[in-house]
A and B are shown apart, each in its own frame.
Chain A
């Protein structure tokens, strides 16, 4: 998504520039769709997306999907906030999750029975601004080291801060902060006599919050501050010599990111009705980063889209065995579709795989009945379709493990060899993948969830390092 589409420029060949811009977009029909939608303009796109999000529950979302949606929207809001610090100002903040936790704990302390005999129970229109302003101050404080530290050194200090927050809430003042037991019994979001109690309410609130935040940030992006951030990211020295107050700009980035994170934290605390120190540990930070970078750091829409995709996959699709199976087989087919250029080749590979499978199954069955004793472990129609195709022995664990190792080796080999061998080797590799899935992976859905998200991250970053909606940048290494 380009911010300023370049018109005719002095010294730039227009055809070259156009080709360059074409490579910014996603490949093939996705890119065409992207360019068409870009004609509409950013604001209408945001409105349409927001409306679609808001209307989704009326199409029919179950309780689980609603919860996944809420989790995804919280992470999307956090990714949009992190985008300010990492994507725009170029500051690697590994402690961002602490602002999220600060917002959540702040709201918890102001809206529960923790402080005093009956507790403070401020309504939302008071507690939210208080928490957000406090978070901005905290962001300024955390940003102070950025005056002296750059790059990875700043990263480590922010990482300390993040870890320190978890330690602090876990071990310090357990009577006030709850220690490992956290704070429970948090009031829902309350204002002017209304209360948000159901998950539907929180979903709508999050959609509104995300849309409003994205809108505000869009305005900031095109303002002087936004331009100052981008200048500081590219070359702080040059920015300083252009009278941009680099230190103040960095502090502003930290503060802005903290405010967005605190907003997400308050809504999160209200929806969960409880906060615990482990809610704000590094694994959540990893998810936010994955979403931001997968979607494209530097782009507001990219941050939101990337986070939504990552969370819906990780927290939603991969949690249920049936959908994980669809995802697995679907991704294999999709990769083949995209990578095997002439369709004859694709048809040949698919046909060969099917034939290979039946042949292998028949041969192994003839040799030993126990080797095919169990059926495919995944349920539903995939299992019945694959019953006479994939070999699943009676004790699937050890062969499955060896198959897994063999699959990794085959995948590595596939990358190495030439085109002809690659086409040939793809056939047993696909069969092996199905074998491993049916014997081991589908039996351990919780482990498979982690495996698949790791594999998806690796493959996606290799395929498109700038993220889905990001722009290619060349970084000047100091």
Chain B
């Protein structure tokens, strides 16, 4: 039984991480109908930023400032810088293609992905960058219920994930900016005619989505310890999967999708087999998609005549 709970905890934690990345992906898709394949690479940039912040303050073993302050700086810096990077990419790569068929920005996104990955390789080098989280957040600080352990980093990830997701939901549903985002996502031309500054709204959406990816990158660094330039590819794929399975364009859907994938991976690896875990998870997801063709929480697509 404790095995079940351990796998549950593991699944929810990784699921929370996937949800965060999927959220940003889904937001961008909502306003632009764009599958941003470079989203995973923004996550990778965030992870590198977190690493360099640790190095700046003395390295993992001898951090010169209190750990909570270090974490705050890491998250804020990653969010800000990666958000800015996202806005820049939108302005220069995606805005000119706003009226092009949807498949064109796909290739631009792929080009940006290539570019970001190789720029990271060029600037930061190929070796793995290790966070060594256990040096400044000790392994034994955590909760232990029976033989189920939840360590501090997992708690941090879960807590931050919850806070960010709730905050985002409130932003989208209650604030003016959120309303503008929903309007632009619904019908861009109508929103423009109603006086909404579409460019600003889209830029703000990109900023938020990319900032979320950056924060997720720092969290991944804390959880998984090693950072290299290719981590973005798998993360991007998982984000895409989670967002679509949950219903693309829907924020609660992205959250649900991420959790579902995290739990599925955990339980399938734990109970069935690790060799075939990917295959089985894919199979499960295909079944989910066939049963609910618009995703779990997606709106049923009405076809306009």
Contact = CB atoms under 8 A, between A and B. Distances in A.
Please say whether the chains A and B touch (CB closer than 8 A).
Answer: yes
Interface of A: 86, 92, 145, 148-153, 155-157, 159-161, 163-164, 167-168, 171-172, 236-238, 282, 286, 289-290, 293-294, 297, 401, 404-405, 412, 415, 440-441, 444, 447-448, 450-451, 453-458, 461-462, 465-466, 473-478
29 contacts: A148-B290, A149-B290, A149-B293, A150-B301, A152-B29, A152-B244, A153-B244, A153-B248, A153-B295, A160-B285, A164-B282, A167-B279, A171-B279, A290-B107, A401-B123, A412-B88, A440-B122, A444-B122, A451-B115, A457-B107, A457-B114, A458-B112, A461-B97, A461-B105, A461-B111, A465-B104, A473-B101, A475-B102, A478-B302
Q: Which bucket holds chain B's interface residue count?
A: 35 or more
Contact of A236 (B101, B116, B303): B303
Contacts of A451: 114-115, 118-119, 122
A393 to B, nearest CB: 17
Given A457-B108, A458-B111, A160 B119 contact: no
Describe B's contact surface by its main secondary structure.
Answer: helix
Contacts of A466: 100-101, 104
A192 to B, nearest CB: 41
Contacts of A167: 276, 278-279, 282
Contacts of A462: 93, 96-97, 108
Contacts of B294: 153
B277 to A, nearest CB: 9
B107 A293 contact: yes
Interface in B265-295: 275-276, 278-279, 282-283, 285-286, 289-290, 293-295
Nearest to A441: B122
Nearest to A298: B101
Contacts of A473: 101
Nearest to B293: A148
Contacts of B75: none
B274 to A, nearest CB: 10
Interface in B5-62: 29, 33, 35
A477 B290 CA distance: 23
B101 A450 contact: no
A441 B97 CA distance: 29
B113 interface: yes
Given A156-B241, A293-B106, A412 B100 contact: no
Contacts of A171: 275-276, 279
Nearest to B94: A462
Contacts of A454: 110-116, 118
Interface string B207-237: 0000000000000000000000000000001
Given A163-B278, A237-B305, 5 more contacts: A289-B110, A290-B111, A450-B117, A458-B108, A478-B302
A297 B305 CA distance: 25
Nearest to B121: A447
A145 B101 contact: no
A461 B117 CA distance: 19
A282 B121 CA distance: 20
Interface of B: 29, 33, 35, 88, 92-93, 96-97, 99-108, 110-119, 121-123, 237, 240-241, 244-245, 248, 275-276, 278-279, 282-283, 285-286, 289-290, 293-295, 298, 301-305
B121 A157 contact: no
B260 to A, nearest CB: 13
Contacts of B305: 237-238
A465 B103 CA distance: 9
A156 B289 contact: yes
Contacts of A151: 301
Nearest to A400: B122
A465 B97 contact: yes
A151 to B, nearest CB: 8
A478 B304 contact: yes
A458 B118 contact: no
B115 A293 contact: no
Contacts of A168: 279
A322 to B, nearest CB: 20
A466 B275 CA distance: 42
Given A451-B118, A454-B115, A455-B115, A156 B240 contact: yes
Contacts of B92: 412, 415
Nearest to A238: B305
A441 B122 CA distance: 8
A474 B99 CA distance: 8
A441 B118 CA distance: 11
B44 to A, nearest CB: 14
Interface core residue of B35, B97, B103, B293 (most chain A CB under 10 Å): B103
B114 A453 contact: yes
A236 B305 CA distance: 10
Contacts of B97: 461-462, 465
Contacts of B289: 145, 149, 153, 156-157
A416 to B, nearest CB: 9
